[in-house]
Homo-oligomer: A and B are copies of this chain.
Amino acid sequence: MTRWEPNARGRLQLAALELYSERGYDQVTVAEIARHAGLTERTYFRYFADKREVLFHGSSALQDLIVEGIAGGPDGLPPIDAVGAALESAVGVFPGRELAGRRQAIVKANPELLERELIKLATLASAIADALRGRGVPDHAASLAAEAGVAVFKVAFQRWVSGEADQSLALVIRQSIAELKIVTA
């Protein structure tokens, strides 16, 4: 008998964050996450392929939104501003700052997770570069604006979750793009 469980995905994500934070990523099993969420292991595997994926769900949605944002952005925007606007338009995929910070701490504490995060960011940079080329930005400039945009995103995200600036992620991204212009000027 399959029961529909309200917001099973979100409950599993939250349960995973709680247990990984408390005990460390390596010490927690999928069975424990499912139990903590009041669900079965079978339900877990309906949503996530393994214990790692629960932390990376949403990264392809993020990439899709950013790529769409670049493709659909207004004509004539300088490349870095096209990337900045697209990054801002995608912040809705992130949970609140507290949960995002907890996830960040888990990922940073585990080399395997950090490597996966870095691969995702490298893939994101390639996708952004392709989207910029699709807008007619020359090859090399597209790669540079994409990598610089992802660089801004990393720094802004870190600043946002640190809580040092009590601002929305979108605003921190906007300020960081402005600051990139200053440090490169």
Which A positions have Cβ atoms within 8 angstroms of B?
Answer: 78-80, 111, 114-116, 118-119, 122, 140-141, 143-145, 147-148, 150-152, 154-155, 158-159, 176, 179-185
Closest-by-CB residue of B relative to A118 is B118
Apart from the given pairs A144-B180, A148-B148, A148-B152, 18 other A-B contacts in the complex at a CB distance below 8 Å: A78-B183, A78-B184, A80-B183, A80-B184, A111-B119, A114-B122, A115-B116, A140-B159, A140-B176, A144-B155, A144-B176, A145-B184, A147-B155, A148-B151, A150-B151, A151-B151, A180-B184, A181-B184
Among residues of B, the one whose C-beta sits closest to the C-beta of A152 is B144
Q: With A and B bound together, what is the CA distance between A48 and B127 in angstroms?
A: 35
Could you tell me the distance between the alpha carbons of A159 and B143 in the complex, rounded to whole angstroms?
10
- Oligomer: number of copies: 2
Query: Could you tell me the distance between the alpha carbons of A68 and B181 in the complex, rounded to whole angstroms?
Result: 25
Q: Bound complex: CA of A69 vs CA of B10, how far in Å? A: 48
Give Cα A52 to B122, complex, Å.
21
30 contacting pairs across A/B (C-beta < 8 A): A78-B183, A78-B185, A79-B183, A114-B119, A114-B122, A115-B115, A118-B122, A140-B155, A140-B179, A141-B182, A141-B183, A143-B155, A144-B151, A144-B152, A144-B176, A144-B179, A144-B180, A144-B183, A145-B184, A147-B151, A147-B152, A147-B154, A147-B155, A148-B148, A148-B151, A148-B152, A148-B184, A180-B184, A184-B184, A185-B185
